[in-house]
Amino acid sequence: MSRRKRKQKNPISRRQLLGYGLGAAAAAHLIAPLGRPFAGARAFADEEAAPVIPNGGKAKQVVYLFMNGGASHIETFDPKPGTAEGGPTRTIATATKGVHIASSLPQLAKRMGDICLVRGMSTKEGNHERARYLMHTGYAPNPTVTHPSIGSLLSHELGDLEAALPDYIAINGPGARAGFLGVNYEPFTLRVNAPRTDARAQGQGNRRRFGRGQSRAIVENLESPRGISTKRRDERLDFLAKLNDGFSKDRDDGAKKAQAAMFERARRLMDTPQNTSFDYTQESAETKARYGETQFGMGCLLARRLIDEGVSCVEVNMGGWDTHDDGFNRVTALNTDLDRGASALLDDLKASGKLDETLVVWVGDFGRTPRIAATGGRGHYPRAWSMWMAGGGIQGGRVIGKTDRTGAAVTERPVSQTDLMASIAHATGMEPEKVFYSNGRPISLVDESGKVVKELFEA
């Protein structure tokens, strides 16, 4: 498999400059021509005082594991045994001394040495749509600006439009879109149609389930229709180009150019041998079994194949976490899928040496209420919850933050969504202060309230 050449858009970050010992003034002088008028004073004032946080820019690629519906922190990574709120969830010890997680996550427990757990997530959006937007963009929804999701930002900052594969691929997603970054940075959606072992746990039958054999295409419309050979397709495109030349001779040629670019990218994707990487079914039975032949497991497997191909950001969406009823059974079932898929992904990335350059993020809408509802589930709870990161410069074997006895409030080291986004930006070498303009309004890559969670990176 060929690796793609990556375009390095920001060869030297400001932090690196400072790290090299250049004075702020000199650095400012160097940065200014890069065109970030707003990046100026504020950031510098902060950074002159703050010590440089290590391990920035190590991650070249990102896997975003997104738990749709909001995973219960109490049934996963922040269990509360021995309390009424904790429910029947049992815990197990992990590779990290003194850290216990839900016993239905035995594989991930063994891999805690690579994982940095954040138990002090605290956000403010308790509505699925708003929270999903928040946890993909770092911004609350706003009726006039559509912020880009983290994948679109990564594809814009780290990616390469000339590459054969799209740079932001959302498996069974996306959670958010490119917003003002525009169509070139939209997530490209792949569908994984493996059965869901947690199908029973999905309950209520309100989600579509795919059985074995009734699969839909992984990518829609990737194949030429019957009867359209590559030659005939290209002849059509050639004549189309002639028509467009005629039309644009004495007219605005924006349409022509955009269209040519669109068809070129689509054609490239159809023709590249790299597109075979979409077909995760080629993997051996043993590998599939390791990931778990579930929608999430196969999503993780596909993500690994795409990371191998150099895709900047792969998002894997896992549904079913909105467990208002029958929470313990449902989350336990979901944990089984999560445990196998995420563990196998971490293992394979580690074995190929890619983990050092790949940031894996596990996050969702929000946590769940400590109080157990009469239906045996939990409501939405953004005030205190958990997420984790691994690889790409993250210090594994560590827990940051703490919640109180029942998981109701963060008692130590709260982390907001903007802190999380700032940390992802740090890990991937993106400039959090970089300013974009949406309809003339300046919007920074990460909201200015975001501070890098340095404990994720410092040895």
Partner 1 sequence: MTTRTRTRATTGLFFLACLGGFLALGAGTGVAEEAPKAQRQTPQQLAKTLDAVIDAKLESRDVRAAPRSDDAEFLRRLYLDLIGTVPTVEEVEAFLGDRSPTKRQKKIEELLASDAYADHWSVVWFKASTGLSPAARGVRGGGQGARYISGKAGEMYLGYLSEQMSQNTPYDEWVHDLIVAEGRTDENGATGFIARWSENTNNLASATAKTFLGTRIQCAQCHDHIYEEKWKQKDFRGMAAFFGNLRTERAPEYRQFQQLRRQMEQERQKRREGAKAPDAMDGDSEMGMDGEMDASGSSDKAKKDKRRGRDAYPGMENMSPAEQREMLQKLRGTANVLVVSDQATNPRAVEFARRRLEQRLKRGQGGQGAERLKERMELAATTPKFWMASEAADIPGIPRRLLLARWITSNDNPMFARTVVNRYWGHFMGAGIVDPVDDFSSFNEPSHPEILDALAADFVANGYDLKRLIRTIVSTETYQRTSRWTDEDEPEVQHFAKAPVRQLTTEQLYHALVRATGMERRLDRTSRRNSQRIQQAIFAAFSFVFDDDEGVEAQDFEGSIPQGLFLMNGRLMQNAVSAGRGSMLSTLMRAERKPGDRVEYLYLALYGRKPTANEKSAAVRFVSAQGGDHQAYEDILWAMLNSAEFMTNH
Report residue 120 CA to chain centroid gap.
19
d(Cα 89, Cα 75) in Å, to the nearest integer?
A: 6
In DSSP notation, 193-226 reads ----TTHHHH-TT-S----TT-PPPSSTT-SPPT
State the number of binding residues for partner 1 (CB under 8 A): 85
Please identify which residue in 193, 295, 358, 369 interacts with partner 1, judged by CB under 8 A. 369
Place of tokens 């569908």: 191
Q: State the minimum distance, in angstroms, from the CB of residue 209 to partner 1.
A: 15
* Contact call for residue 42 and partner 1 (CB under 8 A): no
Q: Which of 64, 45, 63 is nearest to 433 (CA)?
A: 45
Instruction: Return the residues of window 153-172 that contact partner 1 according to CB under 8 A.
Output: 166
d(Cα 379, Cα 299) in Å, to the nearest integer?
A: 27
Instruction: Return the residues of window 103-142 that contact partner 1 according to CB under 8 A.
Output: 124-130, 133, 141-142
* Contact call for residue 379 and partner 1 (CB under 8 A): yes
Q: Which of 47, 111, 54 is nearest to 456 (CA)?
A: 54
* Contact call for residue 377 and partner 1 (CB under 8 A): yes
d(Cα 394, Cα 357) in Å, to the nearest integer?
A: 10
Q: State the minimum distance, in angstroms, from the CB of residue 119 to partner 1.
A: 18
* Contact call for residue 286 and partner 1 (CB under 8 A): no
Q: Which two tokens stand for residue 360?
A: 């894996």
**Terminal-residue alpha carbon distance, the chain:** 34
CB atoms inside a 10 Å sphere around CB 249:
9
Q: State the minimum distance, in angstroms, from the CB of residue 107 to partner 1.
A: 27
* Contact call for residue 242 and partner 1 (CB under 8 A): yes
Q: Which two tokens stand for residue 19?
A: 């790290």
314 to 353: interface string for partner 1, x by CB under 8 A: ----------xxx---------------------------
**Which CB sits closer to partner 1, 340 or 383?**
383
**Which CB sits closer to partner 1, 159 or 382?**
382
Only segment of 93-101, 191-199, 261-269, 417-425 that touches partner 1 (CB under 8 A): 261-269
AA letter at 416: S
**Which CB sits closer to partner 1, 229 or 284?**
229
Query: Exposure string (b/e) for 16-49, b if CB count within 10 Å is 16 or more?
Result: bbbeeebeeeebbeebeeeebebbeeebbeebee
* Contact call for residue 37 and partner 1 (CB under 8 A): no
* Contact call for residue 371 and partner 1 (CB under 8 A): yes
**Which CB sits closer to partner 1, 158 or 408?**
408
Q: State the minimum distance, in angstroms, from the CB of residue 454 to partner 1.
A: 27
Please identify which residue in 17, 28, 270, 435 interacts with partner 1, judged by CB under 8 A. 270
Q: State the minimum distance, in angstroms, from the CB of residue 313 to partner 1.
A: 15
Q: Which two tokens stand for residue 452?
A: 């890098």
AA letter at 216: R
186 to 225: interface string for partner 1, x by CB under 8 A: x-xx----------x--xx--------------xxxxxxx
Residue pair 416/122 in contact (Cβ under 8 Å)? The answer is yes
Please identify which residue in 68, 149, 184, 274 interacts with partner 1, judged by CB under 8 A. 184
**Which CB sits closer to partner 1, 410 or 430?**
410
d(Cα 113, Cα 116) in Å, to the nearest integer?
A: 8
* Contact call for residue 405 and partner 1 (CB under 8 A): no
d(Cα 375, Cα 378) in Å, to the nearest integer?
A: 8
**Which CB sits closer to partner 1, 143 or 353?**
143
**Which CB sits closer to partner 1, 210 or 263?**
263
Place of tokens 């920035």: 56
In DSSP notation, 396-417 reads -SEEE-EE-TTSSSEEE--B-H
Q: Which two tokens stand for residue 366?
A: 């929000």
* Contact call for residue 437 and partner 1 (CB under 8 A): no
What HEC string does 44-93 produce?
HHHHHHCCCCCCCCCCCEEEEEEECCCCCCCCCCCCCCCCCCCCCCCEEE
Only segment of 60-68, 284-292, 376-384, 422-430 that touches partner 1 (CB under 8 A): 376-384
